[in-house]
Amino acid sequence: MKDHHHTHEPRLVTFEDCVRFHGHSCPGLASGYRAATAAMEALGVTRPEDEELVAICETDACGVDAIQIVAGTTAGKGNLIIRDYGKHAFTFFNRREGKAVRVTFHRKEKPKDPSVAALQAKVFSGTATDDEEAQYHELMHKATVDVLHAPAEEIMKIERVSMQPPEKARIFASVTCAGCGESVADAKTRIVNGKRYCIPCSEKIR
């Protein structure tokens, strides 16, 4: 009997796949794409279906979306951990071998061109003209292409790190909340006066 899960070829995830998921193309998404592909190469992981991989993202910005698509580490599977320290740093842990790499970015921080900052402010506040809008998108496009095509060592540092395996997502039993009657994971309930409540209900009681 054929096991379809183990016979198909690994699917190559492109940057366009990431753009489709994220909704737009941007330099942040490009760095997430570069980080995930570089880390997977360093860890010898090729299949995005590989659930042995865990990603720890030190940001909650655009790059995280590329990480989910490329590395297959998603919020729903529990193998995406966000520790938002506001850093463009991503650690990937391979459970099978207990090995991890941390990818950080060292883009040369050019002093921000005040005209670009002004342009960005206009675009974000919706007051930019069509020309300014186009000019801004052209700049973003250039920055994105730069990140996508720069030699790895020019923009990233990929280091092996040693760490404890992140805790596995556990499957919890469900119970019925004494307040709203909705089903809720046991571990997420609060006991008030001997009864189990979901968190929002327990907060209403107090």
Among 175, 179, 190, 196, interactor with Zn ion by CB under 5 A = 179
CA 86 to chain CA centroid, nearest Å:
13
Among 39, 54, 100, 177, interactor with Zn ion by CB under 5 A = 177
Q: How far is the CB of 64 from Zn ion (least distance, A)?
A: 10
Residue 26 binds Zn ion, judged by CB under 5 A: yes
Task: Tell me which stretch binds Zn ion (CB under 5 A): 50-58, 99-107, 109-117, 190-198.
Answer: 190-198
Residue 180 binds Zn ion, judged by CB under 5 A: yes
DSSP characters over 118-130: HHHHHHHHT---H
Angle among Cα 88, 93, 95 to the nearest 5 degrees reads: 165
Task: Tell me which stretch binds Zn ion (CB under 5 A): 7-15, 109-117, 126-134, 180-188.
Answer: 180-188
- Could you give the C-alpha distances from 149 to 9, 30, 143, 155, in angstroms and in order? 26, 9, 10, 10
Tokens of 21: 């998921």
Q: Which lies closer to Zn ion via its Cβ, residue 143 or residue 152?
A: 143
Q: How far is the CB of 29 from Zn ion (least distance, A)?
A: 5
Residues 77 to 116 in contact with Zn ion, rule: CB under 5 A = none
Burial string for 91-127 (b: 16+ CB within 10 Å, else e) reads: bbbbbeeebbbbbbbeeeeeeeeeeeeebbeebeeee
Residue 71 binds Zn ion, judged by CB under 5 A: no
Task: Tell me which stretch binds Zn ion (CB under 5 A): 22-30, 66-74, 118-126, 147-155.
Answer: 22-30
As a whole number of angstroms, the distance between CA 66 and CA 147 comes to 13
Q: How far is the CB of 25 from Zn ion (least distance, A)?
A: 8
The residues that bridge with 145 in the sheet, in sequence order, are none
Q: Please name the residue that has the structure tokens 């404890």.
A: 164
Residue 201 binds Zn ion, judged by CB under 5 A: yes
Residue 18 binds Zn ion, judged by CB under 5 A: no
What are the phi and psi torsion angles at 89 (to 5°)? -130, 135
Among 36, 62, 71, 155, interactor with Zn ion by CB under 5 A = 62
Size of the site for Zn ion (CB under 5 A): 9
Residues in the site for Zn ion, rule: CB under 5 A?
Answer: 26, 28-29, 62, 177, 179-180, 198, 201
